[in-house]
Amino acid sequence: MRGERYLTRDAQFQLVYKKGGSWAGRELVIKTLPNGLGLTRYGLAIGKRVGKAVVRNRVKRRLREILKQAPLREGWDIVVIARASAAAVDYKSLEKCVRNLLNRAGLLMGEYEGVSPGIN
């Protein structure tokens, strides 16, 4: 099911805001909280300070794609909060910022984590 990978309700966001850990960068802030589930869910918070609707939607599309491709550890709720400077950076810079924050939070899987070696 597509929707199970996203935080959708206000109560889910509020729980992460109140009880989760926080890591900040120049363009983004990431808040995380263990969820006790077998999957990682994420939500995006893009305020009007980022820009008009076209700009906010572009930032959201980029962040969704970056998070979809990132090898995340299972069992976490992640809220990504965009700062106003997120609108001015390109995709690669935004990806570098996200990966840096996720790495600092300990949510990126290592190169060989989660890979089962084949039996010969």
Q: For 65-84, what is each residue's pLDDT tens digit?
A: 999 998 988 999 999 999 99
For residue 100, what are the CA distances in angstroms to 15, 116, 119?
Answer: 24, 26, 34
Q: What DSSP string runs through 73-86?
A: PSSEEEEEEE-GGG
Res. 13: pLDDT tops 50: yes
Other CB atoms closer than 10 Å to residue 71's CB: what's the count? 13
Q: Is residue 79 part of a domain?
A: yes
Q: What is the pTM of this model?
A: 0.84
Residue-wise pLDDT for 16-32, tens only, equals: 999 989 999 999 999 99
33 — pLDDT class (breaks 50, 70, 90): very high
Number of independent structural domains in the chain: 1
Beta pairing partners, 80: 30, 44
Q: Is residue 49 part of a domain?
A: yes
Residue for token digits 């190169």? 111
Give the domain extent around 24: 2-103
- How far is residue 110's CA from residue 38's CA, in Å, rounded to a whole number? 18
Res. 51: pLDDT tops 70: yes
Tell me, what CATH number does 22's domain have?
Answer: 3.30.230.10
